Amino acid sequence: MMTEIQNISFDVPDLIEVYGFGSYFRSANANDCDILLVVRNNSSDLGRLHFDLSQCFYQLGEKLSVRFDLTILTEQENARKPLLEHDILVPLYTKK
């Protein structure tokens, strides 16, 4: 799964960080996979970016038989740490 997520990140320039959280990363019997996607503040079309990322992860979910539950935040929003799990996020990808 890591490779596929990295491939999505390479293909989407405005996606800069990917984290996992929730039961999928703590146990073997999770129903879905919670993913936090952090996107650039100045992305030219945030709505389109949200749609495209949702489609990418839907297709990946179909391929891997995993239901992805996405949270998509801008850098500014993510800086406020609006998730309960912020301190235990699992880094999956960071754009260098």
Partner 1 sequence: MSNNNGQNNWGVPWCRIEWFEKKINTHPNVISVSRHDDIVFDIKRSKDQDVTLLCLDEYTLGVAAVYRILSEFPNVNFIYIGGQWNRYTPEAKEMCLEHRMGLYNISELTGALWRNEFWGYHKIDDDGNPKYQFRRS
Q: How far is the CB of 87 from partner 1 (least distance, A)?
A: 6
Residue 75 touches partner 1, criterion: CB under 8 A: no
Residue 91 touches partner 1, criterion: CB under 8 A: no
Residue 1 touches partner 1, criterion: CB under 8 A: no
Q: How many CB atoms lie within 10 A of CB 1?
A: 14
Contacts of 83 (CB under 8 A, 6+ apart): 21, 36, 71, 89
Q: Which of 48, 59, 64, 94 binds partner 1 (CB under 8 A)?
A: 48
Residue 95 touches partner 1, criterion: CB under 8 A: no
Interface residues with partner 1 (CB under 8 A) are 34, 39, 43, 45-51, 54-55, 58, 67, 69-74, 76-77, 80-87
